Amino acid sequence: MEDKSVYHERQRLQFCLLHALNNLLQKSSRLCFLTRLHATLPVLCPELGPHAAAPSSLETEQDCFTRAELDAIAEKLDHEDPEKGRWTPLSVVFKSHHNKLTGNYDVNVLISALEARKKTVVWHDRRNRASSINLSSETLLGVLLNIPVRRFAGLWRGRHWVSIRCIDGIWYNLDSDLSSPKPFQNLNELTGFLDHVIGQGAEVLVIFHDKL
């Protein structure tokens, strides 16, 4: 049975990084959009005045990410890229750090986005087993995985972002490809899963609340 208290964004195009970030933070990009829209209402519709109905307390959280914000981060990274001078007609769509149409953001966008929220991103040394990760750390937010995937009967190969987070004492696989969050029975099952995906070529990023 699906736990309705666990926020879970489903996969759309190649926006798995956006979904993974919001699943990690447990914040809805839709509610974030509504909050920012509400902030612009007095400008767009002056007749509403300052008393336009405000979103609920959940919707006023500003930690969530939107496609527009990640696009802006990617564009800034593109602008600062020393290779930006090598322009081709495809550069209009296939940017250095994302795809203009489908998303497909890279790890540089992820790190910049989380650091903007005062989070710390630590790469896990793949030579070490998952048991070396301190999953009981008080400052641990969760784990992000970048895993190799095959789609369309193996004809297309790519990589996919997945969030793992502990919520109310239960660790969940918040993969946007899943129909609902998948709880782990215990830490042994979680570390076994992490060791398995590392063995399949996954990269593991450990996310902490406080930026160092």
Higher pLDDT, residue 3 or 90: 3
Strands of the 170-173 sheet, one edge to the other: 120-123, 203-208, 140-151, 156-167, 170-173, 182-183
Distance CA 92, CA 12 (A): 21
Average per-residue pLDDT in the chain? 76
Q: Which of 11-15, 64-68, 114-118 has the highest mean pLDDT?
A: 114-118
Q: Domain 15-34+64-75+99-209 falls in which CATH fold? A: Cathepsin B; Chain A (3.90.70)
Per-residue pLDDT, 39: 44
Distance CA 109, CA 20 (A): 13
Distance CA 106, CA 168 (A): 30
Q: Is the pLDDT of residue 100 over 50?
A: no
Query: Tell me: the pLDDT tens digits for 80-91?
Result: 665 555 544 334
Cβ-based burial of 190 (10 A; exposed 0-12, middle 13-18, buried ≥19): buried
Report the 10 Å Cβ neighbour count for 69.
18
Q: For the residues 90-106, what does the mean pLDDT come to?
A: 46
Distance CA 150, CA 97 (A): 21
Q: Which of 2-6, 201-205, 207-211 has the highest mean pLDDT?
A: 201-205
Q: For the residues 160-170, what does the mean pLDDT come to?
A: 94
Query: Tell me: the pLDDT tens digits for 6-49?
Result: 999 987 666 688 999 999 999 755 555 444 444 444 444 545 45
Distance CA 4, CA 158 (A): 30
- Which residues participate in catalysis according to the annotation? 16, 160, 175
Higher pLDDT, residue 14 or 73: 73
In percent, how much of the chain has pLDDT > 70?
63
Distance CA 8, CA 99 (A): 23
Distance CA 129, CA 62 (A): 35
**pTM, rounded to two decimals:** 0.73
